[in-house]
Amino acid sequence: MTLRVNVSARAASQIHKAAEWWAENRPAAPGAVRTDIGEALALLAQQPGIGTAYEGARTKGVRRLLVGRIQYYIYYRVTPETLDVLTVWHVSRGKQPSL
């Protein structure tokens, strides 16, 4: 069963900003952020357990998946029917998001 993907407003804004930055600063692969995150979300909708548990969250059940080429983590939660994308976070930011 494929989960329905819900992207929070926060995550959607972060993806948009990252995609704009990437398009301006990575001319060899200007669409990489949207492509790679889209592919990762499609995979997570099919296999949500591939991400690792995120122990730093106050919210129960938060997991994360590293999207390798672009070096962004996708933080998400799974319900019986949905994959809820909470935030995306670049590895260079150091500290982790507050969830």
Domains in the chain, CATH or no CATH each: 4-92 (3.30.2310.20)
Residue 74: CA count within 13 A, CB half-sphere: 31
pLDDT of residue 93: 82
Q: What is the mean pLDDT of residues 11-30?
A: 94
pLDDT of residue 46: 97
Q: Distance between CA atoms of 52 and 15, rounded to whole angstroms?
A: 21
Q: Band the pLDDT of 97: cuts 50, 70, 90.
A: confident
pLDDT of residue 95: 76
pLDDT of residue 21: 94
Q: Regarding beta strands 4-7 and 82-90, do their DSSP bridges make them parallel or antiparallel, or are they unpaired?
A: parallel
Instruction: Quote the tokens at residue 79.
Output: 């319900």
Amino acid at residue number 67: V
Using alpha carbons, list the distances in angstroms from residue 33 to 11, 37, 40, 68, 76. Answer: 13, 6, 10, 11, 17
pLDDT of residue 94: 75
pLDDT tens track for 40-94: 999 999 999 999 999 888 889 999 999 998 999 999 999 999 999 999 999 888 7
